């Protein structure tokens, strides 16, 4: 060997550490490495989006309500077009029908609100006496007079009338929201003539996104239509029952029951408070118990038995997520947020979960529990079979011992 030949360099020692997982794609490996940063960015983006939505709450609620109405009446438009009605005429017919329904509902709401404004002063003495009795009972439980006065001050008739007067004074804001709603509804009704072709193109290029959009529209339509029908039945039955019991303002409380049927879980408790109060003022505890029984039995049957069977898997949201969504959207958008909580949550789910096949694993945690139910049923059958087998073996052993 030549004396000036370069000496071979020693090989570097292998690095000590966890083996490289070649089964994980580089993007997924990077996502797992920076998981905490991505989670914090997601929470920050959600907070920023929430503040932005709250800043334009009235506009956002009006636009989304127009979208929900357009989704609900779209099958009527398709039915008219299938019968040979021109697209423009079908658009006008559907729009006129929706506006007429909204106008009738708003008119009934205004009339009922005016009746309540004239009804409350007639029962001011009874309400003040009832509040006095409640204050005496609270003091009997050891609550101080100042605390009792602070609790009952919000329920004074003068305070309630002042609050209702403030609502009536905000008619300018309601008119502006109605103008935005009507304008957007007209534009969406006109644009919906292209929705089928646009949806087909999206589904062809992005099947997951197209499927998520179809699922969202079908879920919103089925939920809103079924809830409207059942809420209308609830309102009519409650109206008739309250009128038979002689409770003042029965039509208003029936309308309130219809509106609160769109608020999952807590709408029933909101709707029952005014009839209980006026029942206590007019008939005492027997009438209060009658109101609770009527509302409790009928609404329990509707919300616990009929509605889940009719709606089915259209929503696929757990009870916990539904309840939290009502609180969340009510804080952001006010009363309209509580009424539209389920469609809004379905929109968020479509954007974040349903449109991405990689997030399908999280759907059971959100409310898609059909597979979990089938698995639980199979486990129950297996456990029952094992119990029968053990029982038969025990009986066979006892028979052998006797022999």
Q: DSSP string spanning 88-131?
A: HHHHHHHHHHHHHHHHHHHHHHHHHHHHHHHHGGGGHHHHHHHH
Q: Which of the pair, 24 or 348, is modelled with greater confidence?
A: 348
* Res 343 pLDDT > 90: yes
User: What is the pLDDT at residue 1?
Assistant: 45
* Res 372 pLDDT > 60: yes
What lies within 8 Å, CB to CB, of 182 at 6+ separation is 99
* Res 334 pLDDT > 50: yes
Q: Mind listing the pLDDT tens digit for each residue in 199-258?
A: 888 989 988 888 889 889 988 998 888 888 888 888 898 899 888 988 888 888 888 888
- At residue 353's C-alpha, the angle toward residues 351 and 355, to 5°, is 60
User: What is the pLDDT at residue 151?
Assistant: 63
* Res 282 pLDDT > 50: yes
Instruction: Say how far apart CA 334 and CA 310 lie, in whole Å.
Output: 28
Give, in order, the Cα–Cα distances in Å from 213 to each of 202, 308, 343, 351: 9, 23, 13, 9
pTM for this entry: 0.78
DSSP letter for each residue of 56-75 = THHHHHHHHHHHHHHHHHHH
User: What is the pLDDT at residue 309?
Assistant: 66
Cα torsion at 285, 290, 292, 296 (round to 10°)? 160
* Res 161 pLDDT > 50: yes
Mean pLDDT, residues 51-72: 90
* Res 79 pLDDT > 80: yes
Tell me what percent of the residues of the chain surpass a pLDDT of 90. Answer: 8
User: What is the pLDDT at residue 21?
Assistant: 47
Instruction: Say how far apart CA 268 and CA 71 lie, in whole Å.
Output: 26
Could you tell me the two tokens for 258?
């219809």
For the ranges 127-136, 151-160, 308-317, 349-358, the lowest mean pLDDT is seen at: 151-160
Could you tell me the two tokens for 318?
């757990």
Could you tell me the two tokens for 38?
């991505």
* Res 262 pLDDT > 60: yes
User: What is the pLDDT at residue 30?
Assistant: 54
Mean pLDDT, residues 164-184: 67
CB distance 342 to 71 below 8 Å: no
Mean pLDDT, residues 44-63: 90
Tell me what percent of the residues of the chain surpass a pLDDT of 70. Answer: 80
Find how far residue 142's CA is from the centre of its chain: 40
DSSP conformational letter for 284: -
* Res 92 pLDDT > 70: yes
Q: Which of the pair, 153 or 224, is modelled with greater confidence?
A: 224
User: What is the pLDDT at residue 298?
Assistant: 79
Which segments within 171-263 are labelled E, that is strand?
none
Q: How confident is the model at residue 10 (pLDDT cuts 50, 70, 90)?
A: low
Cβ atoms within 10 A of the Cβ of 220, count? 23
Instruction: Say how far apart CA 149 and CA 137 lie, in whole Å.
Output: 13
User: What is the pLDDT at residue 329?
Assistant: 93
User: What is the pLDDT at residue 11?
Assistant: 54
């Amino acid at each position: 060997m030549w004396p000036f030949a370069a000496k071979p360099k020693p090989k570097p020692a292998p690095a000590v550490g966890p083996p490289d997982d070649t089964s994980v794609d580089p993007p997924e490996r990077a996502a797992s490495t920076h998981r905490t940063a991505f989670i914090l960015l997601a929470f920050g983006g959600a907070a920023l989006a929430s503040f932005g939505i709250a800043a334009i709450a009235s506009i956002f609620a009006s636009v989304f309500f127009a979208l929900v109405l357009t989704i609900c009446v779209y099958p009527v438009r398709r039915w008219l077009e299938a019968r040979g009605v021109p697209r423009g005429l079908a658009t006008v017919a559907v729009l006129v029908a929706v506006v007429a329904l909204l106008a009738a509902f708003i008119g009934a709401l205004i009339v009922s609100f005016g009746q309540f404004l004239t009804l409350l002063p007639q029962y001011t003495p009874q309400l003040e006496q009832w509040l006095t009795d409640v204050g005496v009972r609270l003091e009997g439980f050891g609550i101080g007079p100042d605390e009792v006065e602070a609790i009952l001050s919000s329920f004074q008739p003068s305070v309630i009338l002042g609050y209702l007067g403030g609502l009536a004074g905000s008619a300018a804001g309601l008119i502006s929201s109605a103008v935005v709603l009507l304008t957007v509804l007209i534009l969406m009704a006109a644009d919906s003539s292209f929705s089928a072709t646009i949806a087909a193109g999206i589904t062809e290029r992005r099947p997951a996104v197209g499927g998520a959009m179809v699922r969202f529209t079908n879920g919103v339509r089925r939920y809103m239509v079924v809830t409207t029908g059942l809420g209308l039945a609830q309102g009519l039955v409650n109206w008739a029952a309250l009128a038979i019991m002689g409770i003042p303002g029965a039509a208003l409380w029936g309308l309130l029951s219809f509106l609160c049927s769109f608020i999952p879980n807590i709408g029933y408790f909101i709707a029952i408070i005014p009839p209980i109060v006026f029942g206590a003022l007019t008939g005492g505890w027997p009438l209060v118990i009658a109101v609770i029984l009527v509302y409790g039995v009928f609404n329990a049957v509707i919300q616990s038995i009929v509605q889940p069977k009719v709606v089915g898997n259209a929503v696929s949201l757990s009870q916990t997520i539904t309840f939290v969504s009502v609180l969340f959207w009510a804080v952001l958008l006010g009363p309209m947020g509580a009424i539209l909580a389920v469609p809004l949550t379905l929109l968020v789910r479509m954007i974040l979960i349903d449109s991405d096949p990689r997030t399908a694993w999280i759907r059971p945690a959100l409310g898609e529990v059909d597979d979990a139910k089938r698995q639980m049923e199979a486990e129950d059958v297996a456990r029952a079979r094992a119990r029968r087998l053990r029982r038969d073996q025990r009986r066979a052993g006892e028979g052998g011992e006797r022999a």
